[in-house]
Structure 1
């Protein structure tokens, strides 16, 4: 992503301590309308982050990458982006969440674009995201980062996909 808005955020690798900031970001019930679940408590979020940092089981053949989206202006956490690499690192399933108070400001699109750049540097060749067909905002983010909808649905969510040039 280019332009002045690209410098508004940074992606910081997830740490258990981020739960302190993220519990407020993830607090809105409306945030779960399309993804399911409920706002986590601080102990639940600490536990979730510890499991995420432990990584996937070795036999899964996956790698997990998780980042906190932080504003550069004040260091405030506004959301998360994540990638699950599979197929020997060639395919990445990505997701993003931005807290209700920070939605509609371009943070998800900026963070997702930064994530795609990082995945390209890792030589990922296919990026995928599953998006609920009623989630207009996430569909716009996906389109902005070059993903296109496919005809495939998994658990009611449409698969969006982008193939990167061979070799990243």
Structure 2
């Protein structure tokens, strides 16, 4: 599989921008609410830790069979960053599969931003040779389940680390 590179994705109200290390300053504030870690564990990163994480992510996966695509979510009307979406693309015997994830800062939640961003990401993935899109969702995280469902994923009976595997097959 040719390695995918994140491209700018435009939706009605958002622009998904390929992640850059320079986004860490603004994103540290966006992601500063400890409540964002309720279902995933951990604590908010400092600017320095987030910058180091973004350096690793933008350098790419050390595994040649895996591609990391990361974006920040920017509101088109205000230009402020509100969260991130990502796709980890791996190859298997059928081709490429993508595992997606999203996070939107607390002040911007309940406004449809994660849903619009996830839909935009799935639309972008459909334009590439990806046969499956999946996401791991904590069973108690109703908001993430709603985002996954709105993006076309359905829950499976597969579990990993206490989370349900949601899946969308792309023909």
TM-score using structure 2 length: 0.90
Q: How many residues align?
A: 159
Of 56, 65, 68, which residue of structure 2 is paired with 1:64? Answer: 68
Over 6 Å off, 4+ runs: none
Structure 2 CA distance, aligned partners of 1:43 and 1:74? Answer: 26
1:39 matched to 2:51? The reply is no
1:13 matched to 2:45? The reply is no
Of 79, 103, 106, which residue of structure 2 is paired with 1:100? Answer: 106
Aligned to 1:83: 87
Of 17, 30, 38, which residue of structure 1 is paired with 2:35? Answer: 30
Aligned to 1:3: none
What's the secondary structure of 2:120's corresponding residue?
Answer: helix
**Unpaired stretches in structure 1, ≥5 consecutive residues:** 1-5
TM-score using structure 1 length: 0.92
What does the per-residue CA deviation read over 1:135-157, in whole Å, with 9 as the maximum and x for residues that have no partner? 00000000001100000100000
Structure 2 CA distance, aligned partners of 1:26 and 1:33? Answer: 13
What does the per-residue CA deviation read over 1:87-142, in whole Å, with 9 as the maximum and x for residues that have no partner? 16510000000000000000000000000011111121100000000000000000
Structure 1 CA distance, aligned partners of 2:41 and 2:122? Answer: 25
What does the per-residue CA deviation read over 1:24-63, in whole Å, with 9 as the maximum and x for residues that have no partner? 111001000001110100000000000001111134x100
What's the secondary structure of 1:46's corresponding residue?
Answer: helix
Of 157, 166, 169, which residue of structure 2 is paired with 1:151? Answer: 157
Question: Which structure has more strand as a fraction of its residues?
Answer: 2
Task: Give the RMSD, CA atoms, in angstroms.
Answer: 1.0
Question: Which structure has more helix as a fraction of its residues?
Answer: 1
